[in-house]
């Protein structure tokens, strides 16, 4: 059922143009359909702020339960912002105090850019812990994406992520390893997920934390897990929300940073992502790029349009299905009054009766 355009956030117009069902607030308020209010704590840097917002809104808007989805984006003031991004946030995002006062049915927390390995030294560390602790006591379920998964494993379970010698980067095959959990109901037992990270929390660390691993990859490690109760916290280590071209954009960024001397070596291709034709086009470009750098000339234009149309998306349907299952389960156990997260007779320590 539909997203509700309850403000002038440009993402609503963009998604409507893509064919996602979006209701106006006036129309939504005249329907006798239950509302679900989902928070999106968007901690991504300025360049990825709106794209990440659209990606998660799209996954929520494509879920199946009979409800209206009021998605409330917000961020942390401790995250550094440029003038344009700050103006965008002030116009379209909601303040944290209002989010906490009004309450939520569910919460999604994105990843963030970091300056070093130790998350506890980041400016957002204490504010993020405050939000996660508040959500544990006041929100039915929280979906943690990538870096937020690492943060929860560190501060709540004492499991610190481990730097990897090479970036875990590409599209990787995963298998469902706990077929009994309703989050993976009707999901393909083998599916792809993009990853993009320099650090990893291993299966052994998830197990030591007493968490429930649902899907993992031989090459990329754990992707999907939950808190011990099976639902209060859901963890992604991969990025099922990524657009088809997200990894291409990351590759272009890193390649141009190399051309400008910021990175000291050419970035490798993301694994299992570019076909032979696309690799040939990009290898030709890398030769021209290095030649321009050697001669001190302007960098040649990146051949994005020649590559983007030939990329395959092999992960979105599964990501959509898992998020739909997550929202469907939340719909079943969330109290209609958002400040009372669990209905009478629902055990908050085992809301799904697992």
Give the residue numbers annotated as catalytic, written as ranges.
146, 239, 241
Instruction: Indicate the burial class of 344 (C-beta count within 10 angstroms; 0-12, 13-18, 19 or more).
Output: exposed
Residues in CB range of 83: below 8 A, 6 or more apart: none
What are residue 4's DSSP bridge partners? 23
Spatial CA neighbour of 193 closest among 87, 323, 64:
323
For residue 229, the tally of other CB atoms under 10 A from its CB is: 16
Residue 57 near residue 323 (C-beta atoms within 8 A): no
Q: How far apart are CA 189 and CA 140, in angstroms?
A: 27
For residue 309, the tally of other CB atoms under 10 A from its CB is: 10
The full 3-state SS of 299-315, as one line of letters, equals: CCCCCHHHHHCCCCCCC
Spatial CA neighbour of 57 closest among 100, 18, 115:
18
Backbone CA torsion sign across 194, 199, 204, 210: negative
């Amino acid at each position: 059922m539909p997203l509700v355009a309850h403000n002038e956030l440009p993402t609503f117009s963009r998604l409507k143009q893509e064919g996602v069902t979006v209701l106006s607030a006036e129309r939504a308020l005249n329907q006798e359909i239950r509302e679900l209010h989902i928070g999106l704590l968007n901690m991504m840097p300025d360049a990825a702020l709106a794209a990440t917002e659209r990606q998660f809104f799209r996954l929520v808007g494509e879920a199946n339960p009979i409800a209206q989805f009021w998605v409330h984006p917000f961020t942390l003031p401790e995250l550094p912002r440029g003038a344009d991004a700050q103006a965008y946030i002030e116009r379209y995002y909601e303040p944290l105090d209002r989010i906490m006062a009004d309450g939520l049915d569910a919460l999604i927390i994105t990843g963030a850019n970091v300056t070093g390995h130790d998350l506890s030294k980041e400016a957002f560390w204490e504010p993020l812990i405050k939000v996660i602790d508040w959500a544990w006591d006041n929100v039915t379920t929280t979906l943690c994406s990538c870096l937020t998964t690492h943060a929860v494993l560190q501060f709540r379970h004492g499991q610190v992520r481990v730097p990897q010698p090479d970036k875990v980067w590409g599209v990787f095959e995963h298998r469902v390893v706990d077929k009994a959990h309703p989050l993976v109901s009707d999901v393909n037992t083998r599916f792809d997920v993009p990853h993009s990270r320099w650090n990893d929390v291993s299966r052994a660390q998830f197990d030591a934390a007493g968490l429930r691993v649902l899907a993992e990859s031989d090459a990329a490690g754990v992707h999907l897990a939950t808190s011990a109760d099976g639902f209060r916290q859901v963890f992604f280590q991969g990025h099922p929300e990524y657009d088809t071209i997200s990894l291409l954009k990351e590759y272009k960024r890193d390649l141009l940073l190399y051309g400008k001397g910021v990175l000291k070596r050419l970035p490798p291709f993301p694994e299992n992502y570019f076909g032979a034709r696309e690799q040939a086009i990009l290898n030709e470009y890398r030769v021209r790029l290095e030649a321009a750098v050697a001669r001190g000339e302007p960098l040649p234009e990146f051949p994005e349009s020649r590559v983007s149309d030939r990329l395959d998306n092999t992960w979105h349907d599964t990501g959509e299905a898992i998020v739909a299952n997550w929202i469907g389960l939340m719909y079943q156990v969330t109290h209609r009054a958002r400040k009372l997260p669990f209905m009478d007779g629902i055990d908050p320590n085992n809301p799904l009766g697992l």
